[in-house]
Structure 1
């Protein structure tokens, strides 16, 4: 299917093939679009109403006088970008996927462009983990509730780990005077990545550990709830941890490498304001591509073999008596 073709609308499956990495990337690129932040409450209600009417069989997209398939896919995109799939409540605007680029550009720019003082390191790591905590919590699997005390403890621990890792590694680099200057430069560039990646994993786990402790909902192929599984929760968190390690790779590694080449050009050397604008643009581009690529590592709705879950799921059967070998859960973001 070419990019210009619009498939027949359905609620049974996503627009793009989620079994393929390329399809998942296209799906998340749709949701990371910052323009979705401009969606009004009226437009959201209109989209939700359109989807409800379609589900009730009241409209038939593509027929004369009816809405088009493209309009229906756009309505679904708007709903999925704004409403949490578990609670059906609006995700706070600043923590939606569509806000990830505009929210992270100043954070990453501050981390990469500020002088590497202890104060700057502490400030930007704290700001980054504050945003990450809100993003992780807002986009979690909401079937595993957490108390306010648990959330506050997780946020404090994640911030402490982030700041401690970044400051500790930074001081280690400063004291490694026996390293060649070129090696020290490379290590100094990698320090923010190591700090952000390790803190990102810790932040995610601390904010979402309830999914492993109390379990998450698992469903059959028809979407019917069949129970809650702690093992599924543990598998889920391991998968999300991988995405948190992959996420900062292009964001923190690529901009310094790209700018080291561009900064050698005579034009940028003589135009510091243009150089700063170019650097911010490079950072924004890296962030825009990083989130869909990282999150698309695993499907949003993950299959899991019943043999990997608790024993109570091993002998499950369909109403027809057929054995159920695979169940599904919402991985969250």
Structure 2
């Protein structure tokens, strides 16, 4: 494998199997996810993406690549990661990519919070939101343990029902409360849907467990307790992503709705709210993805007793075990 050159012209070997920044710090994880979720990657042409894939795969195979700097390799890696499935290596559906999260969520969330008063609007936009979530889940499904159509539809139906039911119930409950409370109903519905959707999508992990390893990668076995920790972390991250965009704009919109501008141009309410949500999501999406390490850990003493017994029988001794929390 040819060594790339860094910014000073020195030879260096780049490990493209890992993120560019260290993942044991929040700052490193945040930088990684700011790159992964960059909406500008959606503007890349098929030619740009195929060139990035060619560079990454050839470099990973040890083929000779001349004239490339370290920055060129990292740019190719993140372009490749933004569009191609890590297991199947196939190009992913456009709106299912991580780089589509901000523009898609800003549009859907902004509309959910603008048109939240009537029952038809609540049903329509909550349905659109859960349909988008289903597309994302399907697009990013594991290549080793693919999600069945039945599992996908069960999760989709349950999350949609939960979101719509929560929104309609809360809308009835808060009718006599201040208008600001009503504007926060969509957030409550989305949070409820996440609490339903993610555990359902990963219920096999809760039953059979996920792989836990030592820090150096030695496999120990599958742990349902680790799965519970992983799913809790992902659920909290997803809800955290929604907080800024679904809590901050309603506060401003509730005040601005009484102002002269929106009184005169009520049609501007939706684009203003969508824009505010987008601004929040540009930061909230990567920052909340980075809340927990991708390679998360838990105390060995918290593992199932049979796994602890297996570790003792194999002579494996460590204070913490590690697992992939998912996204």
How far off is 1:250 after superposition? 0.7
Give the conservation status (yes or no) of the 8 Å contact 2:102–2:282: yes
1:20 paired residue number? 25
Change (3 A) 1:323 1:83: farther
Equivalent residues in 2 for 1:8-87, closer than 5 Å: 9-11=14-16, 13-59=18-64, 65-87=66-88
Q: Secondary structure at the match of 2:67?
A: coil
How far off is 1:171 after superposition? 0.7
Find 1:283's aligned residue among 277, 282, 285: 277
1:102 paired residue number? 103
2:3 paired residue number? none
Give the conservation status (yes or no) of the 8 Å contact 1:221–1:327: yes
Change (3 A) 1:236 1:115: closer
1:279-328: CA deviation from partner (whole Å, max 9, x where unpaired): 332121122222112211111222334433334543548x9x66354443
1:138-166: CA deviation from partner (whole Å, max 9, x where unpaired): 33555554432222122111111100000
Give the conservation status (yes or no) of the 8 Å contact 2:209–2:227: yes
Is residue 111 of structure 1 aligned with residue 112 of structure 2? yes
Bigger mean CA offset, 28-37 vs 165-174: 28-37
How far off is 1:267 after superposition? 6.3
Q: Secondary structure at the match of 1:247?
A: helix
Is residue 215 of structure 1 aligned with residue 209 of structure 2? yes
Aligned residues: 316
2:123 paired residue number? 122
Change (3 A) 1:142 1:257: farther
Equivalent residues in 2 for 1:71-220, closer than 5 Å: 71-114=72-115, 116-139=117-140, 143-174=144-175, 177=176, 183-220=177-214
The two structures have a TM-score, normalised by structure 1, of: 0.81
The two structures have a TM-score, normalised by structure 2, of: 0.83
Change (3 A) 1:203 1:322: closer
Aligned partners of 1:223, 1:121: CA distance in 2, in Å? 47
1:180 paired residue number? none
Equivalent residues in 2 for 1:261-280, closer than 5 Å: 277-280=271-274
1:37-87: CA deviation from partner (whole Å, max 9, x where unpaired): 233444334333333443344458xxxx53101111112212322233444
Change (3 A) 1:86 1:311: farther
Bigger mean CA offset, 274-283 vs 165-174: 274-283
CA RMSD of aligned residues (A): 3.1
How far off is 1:330 after superposition? 2.3
Tell me, which stretches of 5 or more residues in structure 1 are unaligned?
A: 178-182
Find 2:232's aligned residue among 232, 238, 243: 238
Give the conservation status (yes or no) of the 8 Å contact 2:52–2:77: yes
Aligned partners of 1:84, 1:223: CA distance in 2, in Å? 23
Aligned partners of 1:261, 1:59: CA distance in 2, in Å? 61
Give the conservation status (yes or no) of the 8 Å contact 2:37–2:101: yes
Aligned partners of 1:155, 1:253: CA distance in 2, in Å? 25
2:246 paired residue number? 252
Aligned partners of 1:201, 1:244: CA distance in 2, in Å? 9
